Amino acid sequence: MTETKFTLPESAIPGRWYNIQADMPNPAQPVLHPGTGEPVGPDDLAPLFPMALILQEVSQDAEIPIPEPIRDVYRLWRPTPLFRAHRLEEELGTSSHIYYKYEGVSPAGSHKPNTAVAQAYYVKDEGRTRVATETGAGQWGSALALASRLFGLECKVYMVKISYEQKPYRRSMMETWGAEVVPSPSEDTQAGRSIRADHPDSPGSLGIAISEAVEDAAGREDTAYSLGSVLNHVLTHQTVIGQEALAQMEQAGEYPDLVVGCVGGGSNFAGLSFPFLREKIAGQEALAQMEQAGEYPDLVVGCVGGGSNFAGLSFPFLREKIAGEEIEVLACEPVACPTLTRGPFAYDFGDTGQLTPLVPMHTLGHDFVPAPIHAGGLRYHGMAPLVSQLVLDGLIRAEAYTQGDVFASAVRFARSEGIIPAPEAAHAVHGVLQAAANADEAGEQRTILFNLSGHGHFDLGAYDAYLAGKLEDVALADEEIERALEAIEALPKPAAGVS
């Protein structure tokens, strides 16, 4: 049997983040000012974000250096381990090879600190003393509470009410690190008060909590707004995951033909998959250029240090040689909030209260309130513009699953590999189990890599409900989506967007 765990030394923590904007076949369309319909500029965003992050948001550089104080904090848990899921493979009886990158080893229990630490660093560096944010499942809030503590910032968290009630210990965690946490919709903001007046029983949503946090930050000079997903710079920060995974897959002597992640706003999925997509795009480019030249190489040469530039050029040719197959990238979402699989690509607000700029993305409409499924971090009406554009360009595919199926797969995973997945990450687990079963049925062997973005130690109430047979599957009627989409009818429309 080959190794189970592939680890890297601290010296292998990436020194740069990878910015996929430099390599996308079609750039993401600009974010618009809702008043003027014009693209927003750095000055529009300056009240909310540190300038360093605004510049990263629009940067076209492929690589952005990671400041040393951030890498120093990363040392607390990075590089994270990559596992070969031998026991899961045996349990499934699959001939496919399954690998997972485990981000649950961070102090907060998920991938979220990868960007929280970076954001807290830049807020502090610019001289602000406080951050405001929203949190769904509590993973993001925990991450920012931790990062704020490490850089000496105050932190206020608007926590989606249903999660606040379902996950009291996430709140304890944030408070232990010194953050102030309120259930959203709250009485602390105009946005929260008006939703409470109209819907006293609102379970809350990420869209509502974002409105509250943005209003809080916009109203105070000492405060920056901090978002745990969706924005370009957040996705870029997460690419430490995929860069490490590339090196670890090389250690394992394999290369994935399927890369899988769950999608809420898209950050853990992007973090794992973008460095692999970089290789796919580069290889496709080289293949296309050789075709232009009317020739096909019979010798492909590259230098090898860690091997990534060599892999970038040669793997697409190798894949043609071995199987004629392309690397496939799969995004997994809940049927209760099917942003990529059922939402149109449109301009929409990032929040319910219409305080944010207009974002080009797949969306279910900014006043869509998803059913209170246990994967709180996937209950977001929109999707990262970068992920949305890559879906339009056919580089990413999406599937949606019911929470009953997702928990069945999560329990199977826990009973073979030991780790209890966060309900969000369990969507990726389910996607992998399905892909392996499909491959076996087709008589194929695949090499599958997925992101186990967090552990579920604070989600055991959801596992209790599943084990007691009390988990409800929520069907989402077309009429509800149509109703929610009416809210964006009058907004500007993106250019066709398809390559």
Ligand X SMILES: Cc1ncc(COP(=O)(O)O)c(C=O)c1O
| CA angle 233–490–212, rounded 5-degree value | 45
- Binding segment (CB under 6 A) for ligand X, from list 32-40, 72-80, 131-139, 176-184: 131-139
Spell out the SS3 assignment of 126-185.
CCCCEEEEEECCCHHHHHHHHHHHHHCCEEEEEEEHHHHHHCHHHHHHHHHCCCEEEEEC
The yes or no reply on residue 162 touching ligand X (CB under 6 A) is no
For residue 393, give both structure tokens.
Answer: 């360009």
Report the alpha-carbon distance of residue 46 to residue 184 in Å, rounded: 25
- How far apart are CB 247 and ligand X at their closest, in Å? 22
Q: How many residues bind ligand X (CB under 6 A)?
A: 21
Q: 236, exposed or middle or buried, with CB in 10 Å at 0-12, 13-18, 19+?
A: buried
Q: Which of 420, 381, 382, 391 is nearest to 330 (CA)?
A: 391
- Subset of residues 227 to 256 that bind ligand X, contact rule: CB under 6 A: 229
- How far apart are CB 80 and ligand X at their closest, in Å? 13
The yes or no reply on residue 454 touching ligand X (CB under 6 A) is yes
Residue with the shortest CB distance to ligand X: 377
- How far apart are CB 147 and ligand X at their closest, in Å? 15
The yes or no reply on residue 145 touching ligand X (CB under 6 A) is no
The yes or no reply on residue 262 touching ligand X (CB under 6 A) is yes
Contact 465, 445 (CB under 8 A): no
Report the alpha-carbon distance of residue 361 to residue 160 in Å, rounded: 22
The yes or no reply on residue 265 touching ligand X (CB under 6 A) is yes
Strand 97-102, strand 82-84: pairing: antiparallel
Contact 339, 326 (CB under 8 A): no
For residue 38, give both structure tokens.
Answer: 């014009």
The yes or no reply on residue 131 touching ligand X (CB under 6 A) is no
The yes or no reply on residue 267 touching ligand X (CB under 6 A) is yes
Report the alpha-carbon distance of residue 101 to residue 453 in Å, rounded: 8
Q: Which of 60, 74, 68, 86 is nearest to 5 (CA)?
A: 86
- How far apart are CB 335 and ligand X at their closest, in Å? 16
Contact 73, 108 (CB under 8 A): no
Pick one of 19, 110, 223, 236: the residue that binds ligand X (CB under 6 A): 110
Pick one of 20, 32, 252, 263: the residue that binds ligand X (CB under 6 A): 263
Report the alpha-carbon distance of residue 239 to residue 276 in Å, rounded: 10
Phi, psi for residue 158 in degrees, rounded to 5: -95, 110
- How far apart are CB 232 and ligand X at their closest, in Å? 13
- How far apart are CB 330 and ligand X at their closest, in Å? 14
Pick one of 13, 98, 137, 392: the residue that binds ligand X (CB under 6 A): 137
Instruction: Return the number of the residue (49 or 255) whose C-beta is nearest ligand X.
Output: 49
- Subset of residues 344 to 383 that bind ligand X, contact rule: CB under 6 A: 377-378
Instruction: Return the number of the residue (85 or 235) whose C-beta is nearest ligand X.
Output: 235
Report the alpha-carbon distance of residue 433 to residue 413 in Å, rounded: 9
- Binding segment (CB under 6 A) for ligand X, from list 161-169, 265-273, 352-360, 433-441: 265-273
Pick one of 30, 136, 242, 353: the residue that binds ligand X (CB under 6 A): 136
The yes or no reply on residue 119 touching ligand X (CB under 6 A) is no
Residues that bind ligand X (CB under 6 A): 110, 136-137, 139-140, 229, 262-269, 377-378, 422, 424-425, 453-454
